[in-house]
Chains A and B, each alone.
Chain A
């Protein structure tokens, strides 16, 4: 039962980050590679605040403030840079945040991390956590479903295809893109917080390239503007590495094999889906 709940929780957490990836990478064509930064920031900011004795409400507000601040940097980069440059810039943020976490050990616990992270009283057991995570993902997916039906949702889809056309309809692509970056960042931070409540331990390995390649793979696989594609992609990305459990492999090798597996899936997806991924010109 524990394995089932853990896998389910991992799927829910992955799906929450993936909604952000879906809105930015898949639908808006915004190459935001900084989601692992937000994932780790959400976890670290809250846990560090609690470590210094702050209440849950205040910790949550500080976390939100920090997430908004870093999002603002990403938004500025989105406005100023080309899409490829944004991807590189936000990718560097992952390494920069990793450097902060590893170096500032008096606050973050350095490479050893912070053990014994307490769960809120309503989420004391893994079953309770899974239940609330499930409820949360249903709400988020419903909101995304209805958002995609609105004129802003359609404009977001249009942004990937033709930005000037979206602007000609009186919608600011800059503001819409910025809003999507903000929403994706908050969702990634929330997923990071839920993950740390599940594992009750925090160290620099919580985010990084593994999370990034997972998120990007979901972003590419969930190419269609449908919630069902997003769920399918998140489920696929969560379950595929479970195949490795069938083999008796050393634990040091499993992590690298997972990355290799995701890399192969991503390359195959990009090559086979490129007809769908690249914007088509209708005449």
Chain B
């Protein structure tokens, strides 16, 4: 029973990681930039909701503010990253998004402080099955997360819009010659990615305390999932997101009584798993070996 409870809790975290890995994959696909600032976008959106709720705004208005903040950060990200995406200068794009993320987190810390904030002040409502239980925000994270991921996979692989997106990812110059506005595609993807990241930020802060760094650990876990799964494979990313979340959670959970590993060790376990998997399969778990052509 204890094992199943840990598995259930791990599924929630795995889905949060997955929900951030999908927008990272989408942004990388169209711009070849690892957008490290998505973690801070998640935190900023959650803080916007917190601001609305603590100032007694109606829920709809608070959600509206959160959406505006997510879209505004997407706009800033687009303005900062677009020159590097056009130049195919992914390294300096990565650095810019890193600086944007750290700057945004520092700004949130200055505005709201670094102490934990709570979106829900009372005890979290739960669903119960015998001895097993899950918090309602956790259950919604799993349901909505899986639904959104399936939707994203279907959208990218089965629709004309997905083909447009993949064409920009493959060769933006050829796409432009076919009258596809690559910059617009990148802007739309960044907006969608920011909204998705914002959703993750809100769902995470419903389960735990909201701090400016809430998105950073999660976005790094999502990056590990992206690297381990293979940056060109959405299925591999989905699989890796659950592996890098479930294995540390299970190891920490099941170690109680033997070594009493604290939850703080999880990031070290993620690093060790990433090291092993990346050295074993540097191109990703599900990526087939290709013959290099020069």
Contact = CB atoms under 8 A, between A and B. Distances in A.
Among A77, A256, A260, find the residue whose CB has the most chain B CB atoms closer than 10 A: A256
Contact of B91 (A80, A84, A100, A253): A84
A263 interface: yes
Contact of A99 (B80, B98, B223, B268): B268
B264 interface: yes
B114 A96 contact: no
Q: In which size bucket is the chain B interface?
A: 35 or more
A209 B102 contact: yes
B229 to A, nearest CB: 12
Interface stretch (B121-129, B179-187, B271-279): B271-279
Q: Max chain A CB contacts within 10 Å: which of B83, B110, B113, B114?
A: B110
Interface string A96-125: 101110110000000000000000000000
B256 interface: no
B154 interface: no
Nearest to B265: A103
A216 B95 contact: yes
Contact of B106 (A99, A102, A259, A278): A259
A260 B106 contact: yes
Contacts of A87: 34, 91, 94
Interface in B226-257: 227, 231
Contacts of A176: none
A99 B110 contact: no
A76 B102 contact: no
A119 B92 CA distance: 40
Interface in B149-186: none
Chain A, interface size category, equals 35 or more
A277 B92 contact: yes
B99 interface: yes
Given A92-B270, A99-B264, A99-B265, A263 B94 contact: no
Interface of B: 34, 36, 80, 83-84, 87, 89-92, 94-96, 98-100, 102-103, 105-107, 109-110, 113-114, 217, 220, 223-224, 227, 231, 261-262, 264-268, 270-272, 274-275, 278-279, 282
Interface of A: 29, 31, 73, 76-77, 80-81, 83-85, 87-89, 91-93, 95-96, 98-100, 102-103, 209, 213, 216, 220, 252-253, 256-257, 259-260, 262-264, 266-267, 270-271, 274, 277-278
Shortest 4 CB-CB contacts between residues of A and residues of B? A263-B103, A96-B271, A103-B264, A259-B106
Given A88-B220, A270-B99, 12 more contacts: A31-B94, A80-B279, A83-B91, A88-B227, A95-B271, A99-B266, A103-B261, A220-B95, A252-B113, A257-B110, A259-B103, A277-B92
